[in-house]
Structure 1
């Protein structure tokens, strides 16, 4: 067995475990994005109208 596989790799693995145990987990970042979308809408409104007709006589 070489020295790297016998000593270095276990030491690196132990350091990785220590670092992950000591460091707090990353805080999730909330990204808010607002997108404006142009909307065109036609609205039909029913309307009732009453009209009075005045008839006048011409002299």
Structure 2
């Protein structure tokens, strides 16, 4: 495992070097968070909901 390195400029954090697989893990977490908030926003905007069973019946599945 590669350690994470913080690069500083004028004594303040400027950039981070990290393992690529760790980066991918963080990107996945970010996408999951964005999907969650998008679903919450959609649910709040929509007043009419249909059950999964009713939707399947409506679509003839």
TM-score in terms of structure 1 length:
0.38
- Structure with bigger helix share is 2
Asked which structure has the greater RCO (Cα within 8 Å, sep 6+), the reply is 2
